[in-house]
Amino acid sequence: MNELYRYESRQRRTSMILLVNMVVLLTMYLAARIFIPSSEESEQLFFWLNIVTPLVEVCLLLAAIYLWVKNETFRMVVTKDTFEVFDPLSRTFTFSVPVHEIVEIKQTHQANHSSIVMKTATGDRFRLTQNYHYSRTKLYAALAKVNPDIRLPKSAWRFSRS
């Protein structure tokens, strides 16, 4: 199939990250208990923390178990003909597009939100997820190799203001 770029990530990796987040949350809660001096305000804070912290811990644990059991694969592939992304968590970010139809990839940032949008010759727009550790530099290089007419960001790390 002559792949120029391929990135894959199993959901078990994400599951492990969620478990680490559980440990970090518990550590932060215990540190707050130890270092925040007792006062009326801190008692009110801990009243809410005693409710919220276990709820968040349970949600993280359930999500980790779900991802561990499901263990699907996020996949991003560039071949000489197509650019394909499969995201098992979001069908919004799942697509397959002929590379010759890609016109531009634009990285924008506004306020507290950044996005990467791919535009095609047919006018379709596809968002590229930033939730995985794929190399945008290598991805853009592979796309440029197949279709040198694609307008790509000057730097894979810089986002322009929209």
pLDDT digits over 57-66, tens only?
A: 999 999 999 9
Task: Select from 2.60.200, 3.30.750, 3.40.50, 2.30.29 the CATH code of 3-9+75-161.
Answer: 2.30.29
The domain ranges of the chain are 3-9+75-161, 10-70
Q: Determine the average pLDDT of the residues in 128-138.
A: 91
* Cα distances (angstroms) measured from residue 78 to each of 24, 128, 155: 36, 13, 19
pLDDT tens digits along 59-95 = 999 999 999 999 999 999 999 999 999 999 888 889 9
Structure pTM? 0.80
Q: How confident is the model at residue 1 (pLDDT cuts 50, 70, 90)?
A: low
Exposed, middle or buried: residue 113 (CB in 10 Å: 0-12, 13-18, 19+)? exposed
In this predicted structure, what is the pLDDT of residue 155? Answer: 87
